[in-house]
C-alpha cells in the first residue's frame, strides 16, 4: 500500500470510531428509566412457598 492509501484508511478508521462513540452515547442517553410504581409491581416473587398452607387446604 502506498502512503496515500494508508492515510485514507487511517482517516476512514478514525471517522468510523468517532461515529461509533457518538452513536453509543446517543443510545445510552435515549434509554428509558422505569418509574418507581412499575418497579414495585415487577419485583420478583419469593420462590420459597409455604407448603404447610397448601397441605391444610382441601
Residue 53 has pLDDT above 80, yes or no: no
Query: C-alpha angle 4/19/25, rounded to 5°?
Result: 155
Query: What pLDDT shows up at residue 58?
Result: 62
Query: What pLDDT shows up at residue 18?
Result: 98
DSSP state of 4: H
Query: What pLDDT shows up at residue 20?
Result: 97
pLDDT per position as a tens digit, 4-38:
999 999 999 999 999 999 999 998 887 777 788 88
CB burial of 20-51 (b: ≥16 within 10 Å; e: otherwise) equals eeeeeeeeeeeeeeeeeeeeeeeeeeeeeeee
What's this model's pTM, rounded to 2 decimal places? 0.51
Q: Which residue segment(s) compose the domain that 45 sits in?
A: 3-56
How many domains does one find in the chain? 1
Amino acid at each position: 500500500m502506498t502512503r496515500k492509501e494508508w492515510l485514507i484508511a487511517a482517516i476512514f478508521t478514525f471517522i468510523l470510531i468517532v461515529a461509533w462513540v457518538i452513536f453509543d452515547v446517543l443510545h445510552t442517553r435515549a434509554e428509558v428509566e422505569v418509574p418507581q410504581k412499575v418497579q414495585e409491581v415487577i419485583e420478583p416473587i419469593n420462590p420459597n412457598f409455604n407448603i404447610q398452607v397448601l397441605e391444610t387446604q382441601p
